Amino acid sequence: MANTVLIVENEPFVLDAMEEILSTVGFKSICVRDGNRGIDTYKERSGEIDIVILDMNLPGMTGSEVYRVMQQVNPNVKVIVSSGYDELDVVERLGESKPASILKKPFNAQMLLDQVQSVLSS
């Protein structure tokens, strides 16, 4: 059975590219473009979502706010934070919450796939 990835990303081009890259290796993607929909989708479908790719810069709610709510729903949620911010800045914004991984933008297809495979196998 294919792994399911929830992608929470506000940039349509980046969202579409990630979905396409992941589908080429058999992943099923659920795509949303803002934090509120990301939370709603995760709450409704957390049982089928294996991993979340979460942009830090979202309309409505910040990525760190979305991440904290997802952790309340499932403390073991596997999240890759996707950000153009410096890694130290991302860690500072998340505070106590540590994501499974940080994917620095811009990234290429191989970097995305490597991160997802690494987090899923951990």
Secondary structure (DSSP) of 16-30: HHHHHHHHHTT-EEE
Place of tokens 């500072």: 92
CATH of 4-121, one of 3.40.718.10, 3.40.190.80, 3.10.105.10, 3.40.50.2300: 3.40.50.2300
For the record, the structure tokens of 102 come out as: 């940080």
Q: 79 in helix, strand or coil?
A: strand
Q: 69 in helix, strand or coil?
A: helix
For the record, the structure tokens of 45 come out as: 């479908």
- Strand-pair category, 4-8 with 28-32: parallel
Residue 65 binned pLDDT confidence (cut-offs 50, 70, 90): very high
Q: What is the pLDDT of residues 98-108, one digit of tens each?
A: 899 999 999 99
Q: What is the pLDDT of residues 29-49, one digit of tens each?
A: 999 999 999 999 999 999 999
User: Considering the chain, what percentage of its residues have pLDDT values greater than 90?
Assistant: 81
- Give first-to-last CA distance, the chain, whole Å: 18
Residue 67 buriedness (CB in 10 A; 0-12 / 13-18 / 19+): buried
Residue 1 has pLDDT above 90, yes or no: no
Whole-angstrom distance, CA of residue 89 vs CA of residue 111: 20
pTM check: above 0.85: yes
